[in-house]
Amino acid sequence: MSLPAADRRTSRMPRPALIFTLYTAAIFTSALLLFSVQPLFTRMVLPRLGGLPAVWSVAMVFFQSLLLAGYAYAHYLMTLRSRLAPVVVHLVVLGAALATLPLAIAPGWGAPPAGEGAALWLIGLFVASIGLPFFALAANNPLLQAWFVRTGHPDGADPYFLYAASNVGSFLALMSYPFVLEPLLTLRAQNLAWSAGYGVLIVLIALCGALLAASPVAEHASNGVAPSPAPAPSWTARARWIFLAAVPSGLLVAVTAHISTDVAAAPLLWVLPLSLYLLTWVLVFQGRPLVSHQWVLRAQPLAIAAVVALLSAGSELPLLVMLGGHLAAFFVIAMACHGELARTRPAAAYLTGFYVALSFGGMIGGLFAGLIAPYTFSWIAEYPILLVLAALGRPAPEARARWQGGLWIAIAVAAAGLLAPLVTASAKLSIIDDHRVVVIALVAALAVLVMSDRWKVAAVIAVALALMRLYPADDGRVETVRSFFGVHKIVETADGRFNVLMHGTTIHGAQQIRNADGTPVTGRPEPITYYHTDGGIGRAIAAIRARAEAPLRVAVIGLGAGTLACQMKPGEHWRFFEIDRSIVELARDPRKFSYLARCAPDLEPVMGDARLTFAREPAGAYDLIIVDAYSSDAIPVHLATEEAMAIYKARLAPHGAVLMHVSNRHLELASVVVGIADANDLRSWVYDGGFSRDDEYIFTTEVVVSAREEADVGALATDENWTLTEPEEDQRVWTDDYCNIIGAVWRRLR
C-alpha cells in the first residue's frame, strides 16, 4: 500500500540526530580553522614589521572587518528565495579559496613603508594573502545556523546554541596554539595541517547542504527561517547591540597591546585575551548559563576599578599579578556586555541581521583601538575610554531596597580600609605614591556604592582615570610621543638631573642633563643605563676594540636615545638601524637627548625592520654587530632566531663578534642566543657581572657575545665575568618556524 504524499516526504526527511551532528561538526571545524589561522598567519607576517605588538592590533582590525564582510555576505545569501542557490554559491567560494592554499604572503609585498603607512600596508598584505579563505570561513557560522533552521530541525526555533559551539571551537583553537601547536610544530607543518583541515571542512559543508536540500520546504519563510510572531528589532535595539559588541572588541585590542608590550609580540599573549573573549560568548549563549548574568553585572564595576588599580600601580607589580589582573577584569567586563547581548537577542527570524550587528560593532571597536587611537592620542587613551564606555553598557538601574545600599556601604568601607595597605605592600610603592593609592581605594568603594547606576559608575571611573593622567606615577615632567610602533615617554626626573626615555615600562636610555648642584652638564655626554663603560656592553666594545687594534666598523640594531653613539672613537664607522621614525626624531632633539648632537651629528640611521634592511648589507662588513632592538620588555622574536644569526654571521668580518643585549624582566633569553649561535657554529660567552646604581641610572645588563673563535673576543675569553656557555641539550633552537615563549617565561620564573 502506498503512503500519502506527506508521509512519503516525512520518511525521506533526514534524521534530527544526523542533522544536529553534521551541522555542529561543520560549525565547530570552521571556528577551529578561523581562529587558528589568526596567530598562524600573523606569526608569518611579524618579521616584516619588527615583531611588534601593533602588528597583532592591526591584524585584529583586519579579522574583524572580514568577519563583518562574511556575515553580510551570509545575510544576503539567505535573502535568496532559492534553497539551493546559497549552497552552490558558498561551495564555489570555498573551492576558490581552497585553490589559494597553502597560506603564504602574497607576491609583491616586500618591505613595508617606514612612515605612518605601515598599518594600511599591513591590512593590504592580509587582504591579498588570506582575504578569500578568511572571508569564506567568516560566513560559515551565520550561514550554517540559517541552513540549520531551514532543515526543520526541532531546535531550529532557537539555534543560538550553535553559536556557543562555534565559540568552543574558536576557544580550543586559540588555547591549543601557544601550548601545543607553536611549541611542537613548525610554521610549515602548521600551515599544511590547516590546509588539510580546510579541505575536510568543505566536505562537511557540502554534506550540510545536501541535508538542507533533502529537508521539507518551510512555507512563507523569511530570510531563510520560519515566520516568527516577534516584531522586528527596533533601530534603537540594533544600535545597542552594536555598542555592546564594540566595547569588548575594542578592549580586546587594548588589553592585548597593553600586556604584550611588556613581554613579547608572540601568540601566547595574543591568544589569552582572545580566548577569554570567545569563552564569554560560549558562556552567555548556553541554554543554561553557568554564571548568573546579574552576578556578573554586580561584579563589573569592581572589575573596572581593579583595572584602575592595576594601571595606577604600573610596572611595580609582578608579571603574573599584572597579567592575571588585567585578564580577569577583562573577562568580567566582556561577560557583562556579551550577557546583555544574549539577554536581548532577537527571534530566529532575525538571526543573520543580529550577527551582522555584532560583527559591525566588533569592527568599530577594533578600528577605534587598533587604528584610530594610535594616530589620535599620544598615550594609551583607548583603554580608559573603553572602561568608561563599558560602564555605560550596563542595563538601566532597578529599584533597590535601602538595606541593600547599607550592606554595600559596609562592604565599601571595609574594602577601602584593606585596599590601600594591600596595594602598597604588593607594589612596594613609596610614601610619595600614597595619593594614588587613596584614589584607587576611593574608586573601588564608590564603584560598589553606585553600582546600580551606569552613569554614576562611568562618571566615577572617568574622574579616577583623569586624576591618574593629571598626577601620573612618574615623578617629574612627562612628555609622550606615539607612533605605530608604540608609546614613548620622555621623563624629566623630579630633581631635574636626568631625562629618561621609556617605552612601555622599560627604560631605553637616559642622559644626565644637570649635576648634583643644579648646573648643566657640559661636554661629551657619558653613556649610562645599560650602556655605561663598566657594564657588559661597554666592556664588550672595549675588548673587541683592543683585539682589533684598529678603528672598528660597528652595526647597531636599535637606536634608543642614541646612547651608544657616544661609545664611538675617532676614525670608527658606526651604522645604526632603526624601524621607528619617532625614535630617531627624539634622539636628534638636543632638548631631550644630546648623544647624537654631540657625538654623531651627521648620523643617518637606516630605516626599516633590521631583518630586511640589515640583510642588504655587504658580507664581511662589520667587526662588531650589536643587537639591541627591544620594544619595552617585548622581544622581536624574529631577531633572535637561527636564521637571524646566520644573517649577522654573514656580515661579520673574519674575526668579528655579535653582541646581543638580552636583559628582560620576564623572559630568560641568554640560552636562546647561545642556542642560535651554536646552530651557526659560533661560540658564546654570557656576561654575569656588573653592578647597579639606580639613583644614577647605572643598570646591570645581561649580554651574550658570540664569535667564531676564542681569540675573536679578546680579553673577554679570560674575564671572570664572562662565561663560555654551551647550549642546553634539551632546549630546542629558535627558528623562524619555531619559538617557545612559554619556556622562556618558565626559565625566568624558575
Residue that is last in its domain, among 410, 439, 470 = 470
Element holding 554 (H helix, E strand): strand 553-557
CA distance linking residue 122 with residue 329, whole number of Å: 30
96-105, 176-185, 208-217, 443-452 — most confident range: 96-105
CA distance linking residue 104 with residue 129, whole number of Å: 6
Residues 453 and 564 in one domain: no
- If one counts every other C-beta atom within 10 angstroms of the C-beta of residue 506, the result is 18
Write out the E strands in 223-334.
none
For the stretch 694-727, what's the b/e string if a residue is b when 16 or more beta carbons lie within 10 angstroms of its beta carbon? eeebbbbbbbbbbbbeeebbbebbebeebeebeb
Residues 671 and 577 in one domain: yes
Residue that is last in its domain, among 441, 470, 499 = 470
Q: How many CA atoms lie within 13 A of 615 on its CB side?
A: 15
Residues 580 and 434 in one domain: no
Answer whether residue 172 is part of any domain: yes
Mean pLDDT for 519-527 is 88
Answer whether residue 413 is part of any domain: yes
CA distance linking residue 125 with residue 191, whole number of Å: 18
Residues 562 and 710 in one domain: yes
pLDDT tens for 187-228 read 888 889 999 999 999 999 999 999 888 877 654 344 444 444
Task: Identify the residue with better confidence: 318 or 316.
Answer: 318
388 and 398 Cβ atoms separated by less than 8 Å: no
State if pTM tops 0.85.
Answer: no
Residues 157 and 28 in one domain: yes
Residue that is last in its domain, among 221, 252, 267 = 221
Answer whether residue 379 is part of any domain: no
Residues 461 and 594 in one domain: no
Answer whether residue 150 is part of any domain: yes
Phi, psi of 744 (to 5 degrees): -65, -40
Residues 448 and 595 in one domain: no
- If one counts every other C-beta atom within 10 angstroms of the C-beta of residue 287, the result is 9
Which CATH number is 557's domain given?
A: 3.40.50.150
Structural domains in the chain (count): 3
**What angle in degrees, to the nearest 10, is found between the helix axes of 53-77 and 351-367?**
160
Per-residue pLDDT band at 151 (split at 50, 70, 90) = confident
465 and 387 Cβ atoms separated by less than 8 Å: yes
Averaged pLDDT of the chain: 79
Q: How many CA atoms lie within 13 A of 495 on its CB side?
A: 13
Residues 570 and 424 in one domain: no
Which CATH number is 217's domain given?
A: 1.20.1250
User: In sequence order, which ranges of 471-579 are alpha helices (DSSP H)?
Assistant: 536-548
Per-residue pLDDT band at 48 (split at 50, 70, 90) = low
Mean pLDDT for 678-705 is 84
Residues 573 and 466 in one domain: no
Task: Identify the residue with better confidence: 270 or 16.
Answer: 16
The x, y and z cell numbers of residue 745, run together, are 617565561
Answer whether residue 477 is part of any domain: no
- Note down the domain range covering 607: 551-687+701-749
Answer whether residue 360 is part of any domain: no
Write out the E strands in 68-184.
none
Answer whether residue 588 is part of any domain: yes
Answer whether residue 590 is part of any domain: yes
Residues 592 and 737 in one domain: yes
Residues 712 and 568 in one domain: yes
CA distance linking residue 348 with residue 353, whole number of Å: 10
Write out the E strands in 514-635.
553-557, 573-578, 606-607, 622-627
Mean pLDDT for 507-519 is 86
The confidence score (pLDDT) of residue 226 equals: 45
Lowest mean pLDDT among 31-40, 78-87, 689-698: 689-698
pLDDT at 472 over 70: no
Task: Identify the residue with better confidence: 503 or 239.
Answer: 239
Cell numbers 664588550 label which residue? 540
Task: Give the SS3 label for residue 479.
Answer: strand
pLDDT tens for 57-78 read 777 788 888 888 888 898 888 8
Residues 60 and 205 in one domain: yes
The confidence score (pLDDT) of residue 208 equals: 92
pLDDT tens for 558-607 read 888 899 999 999 999 999 998 888 889 889 988 889 999 999 998 899 98
